[in-house]
Amino acid sequence: MNCWKSINLKKEYGHNRIYLVSFLIGLVSFLVLNVPFSIIHGSVVMNDVGFFFFIIALFFLPTMHSIMHILPLIVMNKRAKLLYNMKLKFVPVFYFYTKAHLKKSTSLIVTLAPTLLITIPGLIASYVFANSYIYILLLTCVHIAISFTDYLYVLHILKAPKKAIIENGQNGFDILIQPEK
On the CB side of 45, CA atoms within 13 Å amount to 1
Task: Give the tens place of pLDDT for each residue, 18-62.
Answer: 999 999 999 999 999 999 999 998 887 777 777 888 899 999 999
Every domain of the chain and the residues it spans: 16-149
- Written as one letter, the residue type at 118 is I
Confidence (pLDDT) at 179: 79
Confidence (pLDDT) at 88: 66
Helix (H) or strand (E) holding 149: helix 148-159
Concatenating the DSSP letter of every residue in 14-70 gives: -HHHHHHHHHHHHHHHHHHHHHHHHHHH-SPPP-TTHHHHHHHHHHHHHHHHHHHHH
Nearest-angstrom CA–CA distance, 46 and 54: 13
Task: Give the tens place of pLDDT for each residue, 80-112.
Answer: 888 888 876 777 878 787 878 889 999 999 999
